[in-house]
Amino acid sequence: MSAPLAPRFSPPPLIDWAGIRADFPLIAGQDLIYFDNAASSQKPKVMLQAMEEMLSHSYANVHRGVHSLSQKATDQYEAARKTVARFINAADEAEVVFTSGATDSINTIAFSFGEAHIQPGDEILLSGMEHHANIVPWQLMAQRKGAVIKAIPVLDNGSLNLESLDALMGPKTKLLSLVWVSNSLGTVNPIPYIVQKAHAYGIPVLVDAAQAAPHMPLDVQAIDCDFMVFSAHKMCGPTGLGVLYGKRALFENLPPYRGGGDMIDRVSFEKTTFQGLPFRFEAGTPHILGAIAFAAVLDYLSNIGLGHIEERERQLSHSLRSQLKADFPQIQLIGTAPDSVSVVSFLLKGHHPLDVGVLLDNQKVAVRTGHHCCQPLMDRFGIPGTVRASLAFYNTEEEIQRFLLALRKTIHLLR
Ligand code: PLP
């Protein structure tokens, strides 16, 4: 098994990107340059319309009512689950659980898998570029169960040290939980290769796709991961909603994480029995409106084509990266892995990222500054944080040029 090479660019398809930008009310026709998409993306009109439609015509609680309105709402909520299953190519929609976000999804598996499978001395393998959401839940579980956390090291260019995998994986390794696309560096990890490698050791894999799902086609069966998580709000959908995919064989035998309504089969004071997938992991009233609006957004993204979205975002971020590299000797790029998408992280030498962010904001440029919830990664590079520009398909080359002008002015002001 050899590590895959970085993909090559192909010519852009003919798509009406200007028309697509017009679908986003907050940025259409505005002079705000919104380059903070990795934190949360903007919302298309179809999402607002789906919410209005649902609230005006089909709103009720789900799974509980015999009345027609509740059944209508239930049908739409369950149709949304099917849409997500199609979007990620799950074998069965019961493998798709709605959560409150990627963080909640990881906490669910960390707790449940920990309860079912972890003994003192067992190891959980992460990587040095994880978001805190994919570190802290495992630490909490490890403290409870006496497990040990290990991490795949990060190389100087911001890619993973794949040569360390064999030394890190062994009979004690009970799960690998790994980010697909780094939210701080934009590095795209070779997930299919790593999953194959982990499976050769009998290790199940959770893929944190929070920054991959917005930018590339997902196929959980092709990747063959055991769990995958992502958040709707980073892919043009609503906040407060996330997805937890789990391959049935492993997922259906895990114990529940939260207790309450919807996840029970029968309750008595002596004993409670639980539902199967997916309801076992959906305690309480779910985010009905969010799931239905998210399904409308997924259809919208699928109509554009995730492959086209990926192509465009790779081109935009490649353009930004190469111009920063060629024309700004004062800028240090953090993360120069051969394969990256959307995120461009950098430092202005001699200046704190926060100062750069504030001066850019004064020029109507929204970027993120700080540690991006990746403090171990910042420690690895010995820096307090970075300035992060993260692009989406509705951004434009013209915005990149205006961003670079604003950056020049910032450098001038800080001189
Ligand atoms: N994982 C990654 C890679 C992320 O970038 C984020 C958020 O930035 C998360 C997990 C957590 O997502 P959320 O806050 O939506 O739960």
**3-state SS track over the chain:** CCCCCCCCCCCCCCCCHHHHHCCCCCCCCCCCEECECCCCCCCCHHHHHHHHHHHHHCCCCCCCCCCHHHHHHHHHHHHHHHHHHHHHCCCCHHHEEEECCHHHHHHHHHHHHHHHHCCCCCEEEEECCCCHHHCHHHHHHHHHHCCEEEEECECCCCCECHHHHHHHCCCCEEEEEEECECCCCCEECCHHHHHHHHHHCCCCEEEECCCCCCCCCCCHHHHCCCEEEEEHHHHCCCCCCEEEEECHHHHCCCCCCCCCCCCEEEECCCCEEECCCCHHHCCCCCCHHHHHHHHHHHHHHHHHCHHHHHHHHHHHHHHHHHHHHHHCCCEEECCCCCCECCEEEEEECCCCHHHHHHHHHHCCEECEEECCCCHHHHHHHCCCCEEEEECCCCCCHHHHHHHHHHHHHHHHHHC
* CA of 314 relative to ligand 1 center, distance in Å: 20
The percent of residues above 70 in pLDDT, for the chain, comes to 97
Most ligand 1 atoms within 8 A of CB, residue of 131, 206, 229, 371 to mutate: 131
321-369 residue pLDDT tens? 999 999 999 999 999 999 999 999 999 999 999 999 999 999 999 999 9
The domains found in the chain, sorted by start residue, are: 19-35+306-414 (3.90.1150.10), 47-303 (3.40.640.10)
360-401 residue pLDDT tens? 999 999 999 999 999 999 999 999 999 999 999 999 999 999
- pLDDT for 65 equals 81
Q: Whose CA is closest to atom 6 on ligand 1?
A: 210
CB-defined site of ligand 1, < 6 Å: 101-103, 131, 133-134, 179, 183, 208, 210-211, 231
